[in-house]
Amino acid sequence: MKKLAAEFIGTFALVFAGTGAIVINDVSGGKVTHVGIALTFGLVVLAMIYTLGDISGAHLNPAVTLGFFIARRFPAREVFPYVASQGLGALVASGTLRLLFPQHPTLGSTIPAGSAAQSFVLEVILTALLMFVILGVSTGGREKGITAGIAVGSVIALEALFAGAICGASMNPARSLAPALISTHLGSLWIYLLAPLLGSSLAVVGCRCVREGGCCSTAYAEASTCT
């Protein structure tokens, strides 16, 4: 239960701060800025990894949980409880933002600026790069330690900086699902549910290709690193 509570709280913080930055940027006439939004997402993930990494691994993202499972570094029995906790935390965060900003139309939903295909491909690549970094700096199925926090937070901020204006740079089904449901903007939701899962799976293949012997060859090896 401690792990599930940690995933709930961590994902709540991610969605509340990240999509909250988008909402506040809109209502304040752009005072947060695109750079500020990108940094908010990166910094809140960094903070949650430092705070919760030794408890739950600080996945905060169903795509990350799936990636660890495919890499045989996370047990199947814990996948659904983790994903459910992440989804619930995200929904509570978006519900809170709806109470605070009842007139905002999207609550920070991820909506493509271009074509659906363009955003789908971008989200696949962005999530693959994110999961590739996570697998490289995590221990077993856990994101923890100074290296993980800085690396993961930095890559999230980087990807949001250069791609957020086009596809939203979600890389996280929970982060996209919650504001879409609460604001009822469901038209492009399929992109942000499917693409991160595909990208996370591809990252496992990439990690195995570049690391001798397979980066994730030991099943559920909490003590092993991706080396």
Range of lowest pLDDT (117-126, 179-188, 203-212): 203-212
Domains parsed from the chain with CATH numbers: 2-210 (1.20.1080.10)
Do the Cβ atoms of 163 and 126 come closer than 8 Å? yes
pLDDT at 3: 96
> What is the rounded CA–CA span in Å between residue 68 and residue 195?
17
Do the Cβ atoms of 97 and 13 come closer than 8 Å? no
Predicted confidence (pLDDT) at residue 214 exceeds the cutoff of 60: no
Mention every residue, 6+ apart, whose C-beta is less than 8 A from residue 108: 18, 19, 20, 21, 22, 23, 94, 97, 179
Q: Using one digit for the tens of pLDDT, what is the confidence trace for 106-130?
A: 999 999 999 999 999 999 999 999 9
DSSP letters, 109-173, are ----SS-HHHHHHHHHHHHHHHHHHHHHH-BTTB--SHHHHHHHHHHHHHHHHHHHHHH-----H
pLDDT at 138: 84
pLDDT at 189: 97
pLDDT at 142: 64
> Measured between alpha carbons, how far is residue 161 from residues 97, 164, 173, 188 in Å?
23, 6, 19, 21
Average pLDDT over residues 177-201: 96
Predicted confidence (pLDDT) at residue 99 exceeds the cutoff of 50: yes
Tokens of 117: 């295909």
Query: What's the whole-number average pLDDT of the chain?
Result: 91
Cross-strand partners of 142: 139
Confidence band of 168 (pLDDT split at 50, 70, 90): very high
Query: What is the model's pTM?
Result: 0.90
Tokens of 211: 């690391």
